[in-house]
Structure 1
């Protein structure tokens, strides 16, 4: 359309001087930059006044138009115009810093930084130097960028290109900004943690540096007043010997005091790489018991990391056939080296009766045992193809033998147990403690059977070694996991009785009694604690009770037991706004006392809740908190126990032990390192000010926190 108004279809008299015809047709601004010159054969060309390049314009009666000429000027194709714009941009970057009123630079600044809010007047209202510095500090902490990036020339040039008025802070200024963010966030978080009514469980992560120093990372886990599972880093402290229980207990004691949690410690979850775990745990328990009242005489106090025991056993299994793993890996490398070999491999697979979509050959990442397992499992399905390839390809010499494939099959059978268990845990968005028992008891049972000689394709040696390691974990942690699964209304004591009968046979009753006594003793500890009145009993029930009544799953039963409708109906009948809160609590207390049974006994004797898809255990306890006020306090603490110290994305790592802090962060001051780690965690997990406020409940302090 531009060409029409530029005179593209007007007749052109070639014989006339170009200048006179150009005056009559000069309707486009492009002619400010071009002149028209005649060339041979009655044609004309347009010459750029800046760079002297020429472009076709007319040939005979045909006119090329001006679109290509405009692109040369407007899109930066002209080198002279490009240099002039670059010079003008440099001048614009210098003008605002001088504070002068340079008229030439002001209009572009207004055009570029005008606020979109629709307010009149100031075009530069949106720029705030302090706010930009704060956001830059948050970005560095959140994305784990180096602090020194603010002094990189390329970064400085990039930022100046975005906003010439922004003064990039120095390294020391950015370090101070991050520490200031850390202190503000800590103060906000301290107010939230101070309002926790229950206990806090800790995970202890150990980090080492190239300077042989260490850091102890403490993370607190708890369920808040709105029955949401929370986890926040409490400290990241440098110590000279992090593996010493004395140093560790000092760090834990100081952190608990700093956060006013000295009397609220419930459990501590450690890794499995202590050479003498029992002695280490006992010493740590003794150091901390003087200031903390340990429940069940400390039987639940120290928990071992489940992800680490899975990784240790998987790595041991793979190490037992490391030669075969090497052969399989080299075989895959050989096939995937060229497209021709991959195509020939696929043809052989089809010729031998394989499906057209053959199992994908995948190389492993040696630091992740799940990828090695998947590599072996995939290659195992194609072992006949590798055997044929060995007989037909003289260059291929790494094919595993039939005996090697038998070893791969046996090892993959064991690792599949570990892999499926880890996948089940990682699938849960909030893995509460009740999820682990069902996974652990199945592995314990299978390994015990394999060690006794029931493992197919195995002579029992590898199975016995695995069972010894896993049995140690089972003995240390089965009680805490069993108590956690009892807090699941879908299972209660029934799953404990069922699984222990399979694991212990004739001795099952003795071990079942240990769990039953333990959970009753733990409940008595909570009965001895005061039960404060809290407004949390009012508004939080009717909504969920109505949802339970209206849910199509509420009446479905897959195991022949009664559903949760009775509990939901009882909670729904309670008034939420008529001022009879004390009366509701009285009815709840007298209903239990009339039967002469404790809350725990009543809970255990009631029918199991149906195992429906999408069941949320924390929502169930939130709904039934009024019915079981003391038991709900116990459930809140038990379900928050972290059974693993490893983030869900790192469950398949090479093993436990200390993680290595990179050289850059090791060179920073300890207080800066702590500020970086803690600020990153808090900014990720704490609610923001922009979240809409929920209905007024005690937990609304979380969303009202100012950052």
Structure 2
């Protein structure tokens, strides 16, 4: 039975022929699906086909033609805008001159389009970066003000100063200015938040804590004991936190430090977790016995207070250095007077440097006066002077006013003194370094 073809089962053979949309023969037959041109230049130009795949733009005024497209490459419209906007077209230029020569025409304004109102200058398009939006947070601003006062030790009344109030209001008019009582409460709240953070660190430490006591006396003869804690966390990171500042009306009493330690242990719940106690203050035997008894009572595993130290290592190093300098006081004074003589006059210092160049002394040290309250500056002064001793020895030949400096034996004594002080100096530098390896780090 022969099947009658219908629309459901019919087999249709289509001969597909390629259609060249861009060919000249099909240009008129093929509908133009390009988007509508929006540039202002097309009010003054027309597009003409001059060959296969080649089109040019023709000016309606002067009939000049310009390149527009060749194949898939499009020349753009910038050169067309310059032709009509900058007077390159002779017809437009003649119209402008005729309008300017009329006695009834007003002079065009600079920067306006009055010279050719039909033509708009090309507009530049700039990409503007979108600035991130930050929502104003009044509570965070109050927190930052409290943090600023605590960090820089500003008075609380700074928030009521007219200058500060005007600055904040101009910076953010939406911010409601705080008063003395408000900022005081914010500072206390900041302190409590920081205390809770340190409390969590202390509770999470796997070992014990070391305390250091320092005393500061005010002009009202009232003392303040600063209690600092050092401990190592589970990641072997060293922490150093100021835990308490305890006011002591009678700082010279034997029980002043015992009271500060007892308050700290009770405030931070550290009974039984104290490892050692370092006191940076001379104490009497009664005061030491009082501290040792407190440690034995609050910390029964502290070996009966045997780890109680009189001074920390830094203070011990300073004491040794001060004793060495005191034993050689006369020699150190001679060197200090020589350095002072050179440093008090620019002309003498220039003469000293000139003499150093003549003698070809290889030292790169520079002379500097010391601070007698800091032994490290005295060591640096002695070290620089000892390396420049040849210049000091010859200075009296060029400067008759220069008194006799140290003798050869005294310079040798200075060199020996610097040799011993260098050991203390290097140790102190190691202690004050920004990062100190923990005990589980070994250097080979």
> TM-score, structure 2 length as denominator?
0.65
Name the CA distance, whole Å, in 2 between partners of 1:161 and 1:384.
64
Contact 1:204 / 1:217 at 8 angstroms: preserved in 2? yes
The one of the two structures with greater contact order (alpha-carbon pairs below 8 A, sep at least 6) is 1
Residue correspondence of structure 1 range 219-234 to structure 2 within 5 A: 219-234=228-243
Quick one: structure 1 residues 397 and 176, their matched pair in 2 at CA, closer, same or farther if it must change by over 3 Å? farther
Quick check: 1:218 aligned with 2:227? yes
Deviation at 1:388, TM superposition (A): 1.4
Match of 1:91 in 2: none
Deviation at 1:375, TM superposition (A): 1.2
Name the CA distance, whole Å, in 2 between partners of 1:208 and 1:218.
15
Quick check: 1:25 aligned with 2:109? yes
Contact 1:253 / 1:262 at 8 angstroms: preserved in 2? no
Deviation at 1:311, TM superposition (A): 1.3
Name the CA distance, whole Å, in 2 between partners of 1:210 and 1:405.
43
Deviation at 1:212, TM superposition (A): 0.7
Match of 2:212 in 1: 203
Match of 1:342 in 2: 349
1:150 to 140, 156, 159: 159
Contact 1:267 / 1:303 at 8 angstroms: preserved in 2? no
Quick one: structure 1 residues 397 and 305, their matched pair in 2 at CA, closer, same or farther if it must change by over 3 Å? same
Residue correspondence of structure 1 range 573-588 to structure 2 within 5 A: none
Name the CA distance, whole Å, in 1 between partners of 2:372 and 2:170.
43
Residue correspondence of structure 1 range 295-306 to structure 2 within 5 A: 295-302=302-309, 304-306=311-313
1:177 to 186, 195, 217: 186
Match of 2:391 in 1: 385
Contact 1:256 / 1:262 at 8 angstroms: preserved in 2? yes
Deviation at 1:268, TM superposition (A): 0.7
Contact 1:266 / 1:301 at 8 angstroms: preserved in 2? no
Contact 2:215 / 2:224 at 8 angstroms: preserved in 1? yes
Name the CA distance, whole Å, in 1 between partners of 2:433 and 2:186.
37
Quick check: 1:290 aligned with 2:374? no
Gaps of 5+ in 2: 1-85, 87-92, 94-99, 113-129
**Aligned-residue RMSD, C-alpha:** 3.7
Deviation at 1:293, TM superposition (A): 0.8
- Structure of greater Rg: 2
Deviations 1:403-453 (A, max 9, x none): 543442333232112112212333361365x6xxxxxxxxxxxxxxxxxxx
Name the CA distance, whole Å, in 2 between partners of 1:324 and 1:313.
18
Name the CA distance, whole Å, in 2 between partners of 1:328 and 1:147.
49
Quick one: structure 1 residues 320 and 428, their matched pair in 2 at CA, closer, same or farther if it must change by over 3 Å? same
Deviation at 1:283, TM superposition (A): 2.3
Quick one: structure 1 residues 117 and 303, their matched pair in 2 at CA, closer, same or farther if it must change by over 3 Å? farther
Name the CA distance, whole Å, in 2 between partners of 1:170 and 1:289.
48
Q: Secondary structure at the match of 2:370?
A: coil
Residue correspondence of structure 1 range 126-165 to structure 2 within 5 A: 126-165=135-174
Count of residue correspondences: 335
1:360 to 359, 366, 382: 366
Gaps of 5+ in 1: 1-6, 11-15, 29-114, 119-124, 435-487, 491-610, 613-707
Deviations 1:485-531 (A, max 9, x none): xxx696xxxxxxxxxxxxxxxxxxxxxxxxxxxxxxxxxxxxxxxxx
Name the CA distance, whole Å, in 1 between partners of 2:312 and 2:260.
20
Match of 2:419 in 1: 413
Match of 1:317 in 2: 324
Name the CA distance, whole Å, in 2 between partners of 1:21 and 1:219.
88
Residue correspondence of structure 1 range 39-188 to structure 2 within 5 A: 116-118=131-133, 126-188=135-197
Contact 1:330 / 1:398 at 8 angstroms: preserved in 2? no
Contact 2:209 / 2:230 at 8 angstroms: preserved in 1? yes
Residue correspondence of structure 1 range 344-493 to structure 2 within 5 A: 344-355=351-362, 358-397=364-403, 399-427=405-433, 429-430=435-436
Deviations 1:33-76 (A, max 9, x none): xxxxxxxxxxxxxxxxxxxxxxxxxxxxxxxxxxxxxxxxxxxx
Name the CA distance, whole Å, in 2 between partners of 1:21 and 1:363.
83
Q: Which structure's residues are more often helix, by fraction?
A: 1
Contact 1:310 / 1:418 at 8 angstroms: preserved in 2? yes
Name the CA distance, whole Å, in 1 between partners of 2:420 and 2:341.
28
Match of 1:264 in 2: 273
Contact 1:349 / 1:385 at 8 angstroms: preserved in 2? yes
Residue correspondence of structure 1 range 478-627 to structure 2 within 5 A: 611-612=443-444
Q: Secondary structure at the match of 1:25?
A: coil
